[in-house]
Structure 1
Amino acid sequence: MSDNSDGTRTAVVTGGGTGIGRAIAEELVRRGLDVVITGRRADVLERTAGEIGARAVAFDAADQASVDAALPHLPERVDVLVNNAGGLADGDGLKQEWLAMYEANVVTAVLVTTALGPRLADQARVVTIGSIAGRRGGGSYGAAKAAVEAWTAELAFKLGGRGITANVVSPGFVDDTEFFGGGMTERRRETLVAETANGRAGTPADVAATVAFLASPEAGHITGQVIAVNGGAHLGR
């Protein structure tokens, strides 16, 4: 895949087929970026790409061989990388659960960012999706999202000499995603909303707007940070 010759900025959004990832990709398209969405489900990706005006490349971000095989189909120059792939993961036993959660949420970001590292343009933006659970607990999922924050802090210094920024956007409870897999009860939803200062659940668009700002040229002096998008459910001060 060749660079854009017209100066259009190029973005890669992992886990871009549904939910928050789709909203991020759609917002970046709206802002004029040439967007490639990735994920494991080719049918979902192709449908979303057609609907929002993006391109689709299917691969498993947690598998090194799959990432390597996808590289010829990914942009040769990347101005924005959004590591959104992740979520809840199951394992057969306690150890396997923790390893699966780490692989789904940390290894995916590390593998894709490392693979695309040589293609990141000067002044590029790397944004990884964290979670309020990384600060408030949440067992193996929260621990994995806390690790995302630690990795990003180091990444910011590794890439900063080229003007590349690396940040985490950390959502709280967000409606209209596949995260809870149909397991969200109305009572639990009411509890989570009641924890916010503004009295509402987050939306994928809330997260997408924050990512889009961090991905913009104007955000060049924000790096190594965790930006909470949680309606005040957890204060980052």
Structure 2
Amino acid sequence: MTTRILITGAGSGIGAAIARRIAAPGKAILLHTGSNTAALDAVAAEARAKGARVETMTGDLTDPALPSALVGAAQAAFGGLDQIVSNAGRADKTPFGAMTEEAMTRAWEMMPLAFFRLVDAALPALRASKQGRVVAISSFVAHVYGANGLTFPATSAAKAALEALAKSLAWQLGPEGVTVNCIAPGFVRKDAGGHAATSRETMESAAAITPNRRIGTPEDIAGMVAYLLSDEARHVTGQTIHVDGGLTL
């Protein structure tokens, strides 16, 4: 039986690592990115080489029409949709006094509102699936404020809202066998040339405040996503799992 999966923000970093980790025969994956089509095509080629069937799609998740279009594209290409990994997001450390209302609105639209639109469009497919899974990528910034001297007001608020929505959805879909969980990474190493909200020096110093004394990798997060999408995790739902080296202890 083929498992049909949608991954947002799959052109680099955590999303790309998830695509590589779960790609295998019997997997049909729709990969999304905002605009970096060259990077997304490279990830898609790697996933296809591992035996997965792969389609790609680009677009801005703040566009109200895009989430439902992604769900529709997956259903049209694969005949249905079983699992969603809501990964796309962008960290913003702009403090109060400098942060604009537009920046706050964009954070909301890109993360919790896009998540709502995705799952709302996918509800019939998730309910019909025998492998229904939803995984949302949150962040330690929804739980720890001022880690390594950094604050992320807009991102913290957006990720906290994302987690609240996921828990509500888990409660609603639990009786139908669909699981919904969040993963909250700690500091994660970025791809070379990719977007980073903090400097390289700040990221490296973050290892000193992380109990296991290292920065996470996208592969660390991808491994947990793979587990939550699997049948082995069928009794795990409504959780926020911290994959952060102990940062939130």
Structure 2: gaps spanning 5 or more residues: 49-53, 146-151
Map 1:141-156 to 2 at 5 A: 141-156=155-170
Query: Which residue of structure 2 lines up, in the alignment, with residue 10 of structure 1?
Result: 4
Which secondary structure state, in structure 2, belongs to the residue aligned with residue 15 of structure 1? coil
State whether residues 138 and 163 of structure 2, in contact with CA within 8 Å, keep that contact through their aligned partners in structure 1: yes
Q: In 2, are the aligned partners of 1:46 and 1:56 still within 8 Å (CA)?
A: yes
**Alignment match, 2:149:** none
What does 1:77-156 align with in structure 2 at a 5 Å threshold?
77-88=80-91, 94-120=100-126, 121-137=129-145, 138-156=152-170
Q: Counterpart of 1:78 in structure 2: which amino acid?
A: L
**SS of 1:63's equivalent?**
coil
The aligned residue for residue 58 of structure 1 is 58
Pair 1:48-2:43 in alignment: yes
Q: Is the 8 A contact 2:89 2:110 kept in 1?
A: yes
Looking at structure 2, the residues matched to 227 and 85 of structure 1 have their Cα atoms a distance apart, in angstroms, of 18
How many residue pairs get aligned? The number is 227
On the 8 A contact 2:184/2:243 being kept in 1, the answer is yes
Structure 1 portions without partners, runs of 5+: 1-6
Following TM superposition, by how much is the alpha carbon of 1:32 offset from its aligned partner in structure 2, in angstroms? 4.8
CA pair 62-89 structure 1, distance change in 2 beyond 3 A: farther
- Which position in structure 1 is the counterpart of 2:51? none
> How far apart in 1 are the matches of 2:83 and 2:70?
17
**Quick check: 2:71–2:81 contact (8 Å CA) kept in 1?**
no
Worse-superposed segment, 33-42 or 86-95: 86-95
Checking the alignment, whether the CA contact within 8 Å between 1:90 and 1:97 is kept in structure 2 is no
Q: Is the 8 A contact 2:19 2:43 kept in 1?
A: no
Structure-1 residue corresponding to 2:205 = 191
Amino acid at match of 2:214: R
Query: Is the 1:61–1:111 contact (alpha carbons within 8 Å) kept by the matching residues of 2?
Result: no
**Does the aligned pair in 2 maintain the 1:38–1:58 contact within 8 Å?**
yes
Q: Is the 8 A contact 1:62 1:111 kept in 2?
A: no
Give 1:70 shift. Answer: 4.1
Q: 1:231 and 2:237 equivalent?
A: no
1:20 and 1:204 in contact (8 A); partners too: yes
Superposition deviation, residue 101 in structure 1 = 1.2
TM, length-normalised to structure 2:
0.84
Secondary structure at 1:35 match in 2: strand
* Alignment partner of 1:204 out of 218, 223, 229: 218
Cα separation, 2, equivalents of 1:38 and 1:99: 22
Question: How many Å separate the matches in 1 of 2:233 and 2:70?
Answer: 29
For residues 71 and 5 of structure 2, what CA distance do their matches in structure 1 show?
Answer: 14
The one of 19, 22, 28 equivalent to 1:28 is 22
Match of residue 33 from structure 2: 39
Q: State the identity %.
A: 34
Contact 2:67 2:114 in 1 (8 A): no
Q: 1:203 to 1:93 in 2, by over 3 A?
A: closer
Secondary structure of 1:200's aligned partner: coil
Structure 1 residue aligned with 2:148: none
Residue 176 of structure 1 aligns to a residue whose secondary structure is: coil
Matched residue of 2:132: which SS? strand
* Displacement of 1:44: 3.1
Q: Name the counterpart of 1:180.
A: 196
Aligned-residue RMSD, C-alpha: 2.1
SS of match in other structure, 1:126: strand
User: Does the residue aligned with 2:188 lie in a helix, a strand or coil?
Assistant: coil
